[in-house]
Amino acid sequence: MAFFWKIVQWVLDKMKIMGAGCLVGMMLLTCVDVVGRAFGHPIFGSVEIVGFMATLAVVMAMPYTHQVQGHIGVEILVRLFSEKTQTLIDICTGIISLILFAIVTWRMTLYANTMKASGEVSMSLEFPEHVVIYVTALCLLTFTLIILRDVINNIRKLKSK
């Protein structure tokens, strides 16, 4: 099982790097496009590419942000509870999140299949949008697995007390 989690961690590390690359790419493309527009030569399809990169940057950052507990949480009340109660709350919210993101991953995969079957492409560049949706589903799957790992670790933590 440890080997499986090492693979998930490896994928997460690569997604983090690719997400950062998307963020840098968005900035560079936007800057070049603005300068190009000033001289009458905008980059064709830059809005679509930036939109795709923004989507990928967000979904690639979600698993890492969850792992380092970087999401916003309301802990004012929860901090007052015992450590065991806090762990129980973490398990409950983790299970709810796990179910939610498992469903979102499943539906995103079905949506990508539908887009692929219909032959849907982007408006300007005619890029097949299902590719971005499949990558999004893969990132959400990784996010779901990270949530699962946290739930398992919290259950182990609760049992050891």
Q: What is the pLDDT of residues 140-158, one digit of tens each?
A: 999 999 999 999 999 999 8
The one-character DSSP state at 128 is B
- CA within 13 Å, CB half, 111: 15
Kindly report which listed range (58-62, 79-83, 115-119) carries the lowest average pLDDT score: 79-83
Residue 133 in this model has a pLDDT that exceeds 80: yes
What is the average per-residue pLDDT within 30-52?
95
Q: Are 149 and 5 in contact (CB under 8 A)?
A: yes
Q: Nearest Cα to 152, choosing from 90, 63, 103, 84?
A: 90
Averaged pLDDT of the chain: 94
* d(C-alpha 139, C-alpha 104), whole Å: 11
Q: State mean pLDDT over 6-29.
A: 96
Model confidence at 70, pLDDT cuts 50, 70, 90, reads confident
Mean pLDDT in residue range 38-53: 94
Task: Look at residues 26, 103, 15 and name the one whose alpha carbon lies nearest to residue 67.
Answer: 15
pLDDT attached to residue 78: 82
Scan for tokens 């299949």, then name that residue. Answer: 113
pLDDT of 75 above 90? no
